[in-house]
Amino acid sequence: MKLASTDPADEWAIAYIRHHQGEALVREKRYDEARAVLSESLRDFERIQSTRSIIGVRYRMATLALASGDLQGARDLALRGVDDAATERWDRLEGLNHRVLGDVAARDQQPDDARYHYQRALELVTATDMRMQATIELSLAGLARDKGQLEDARTRAANALRHFEKMRMRAEADSARRLVFDLREKSVQA
Average of pLDDT values for 99-117?
Answer: 97
Whole-prediction pTM: 0.88
- Calculate the CA dihedral of residues 181, 113, 70, 142 and round it to 10 degrees: 0
Q: What local confidence, expressed as pLDDT, does residue 73 receive?
A: 98
Instruction: Evaluate whether 141 touches 156 at the Cβ level (below 8 Å).
Output: yes
Burial class of residue 39 in the structure, from the number of CB atoms within 10 Å of its CB (0-12 exposed, 13-18 middle, 19+ buried): middle
Single-letter amino acid code for the residue at 101: L
Is pLDDT at 79 greater than 90 in this prediction?
yes
Q: Which domains does the chain have, with CATH numbers?
A: 8-97 (1.25.40.10)
Average of pLDDT values for 23-43?
Answer: 96
Supply the mean pLDDT for the chain: 93
- Position 74 confidence tier, pLDDT thresholds 50, 70, 90: very high
Q: What local confidence, expressed as pLDDT, does residue 1 receive?
A: 47
Long-range pairs of 160-165 with CB within 8 A, sequence gap ≥ 24? 160/134, 160/135, 163/130, 163/131, 163/133, 163/134, 163/137, 164/134
Phi, psi of 171 (to 5 degrees): -65, -45
1 vs 149, which has greater pLDDT? 149
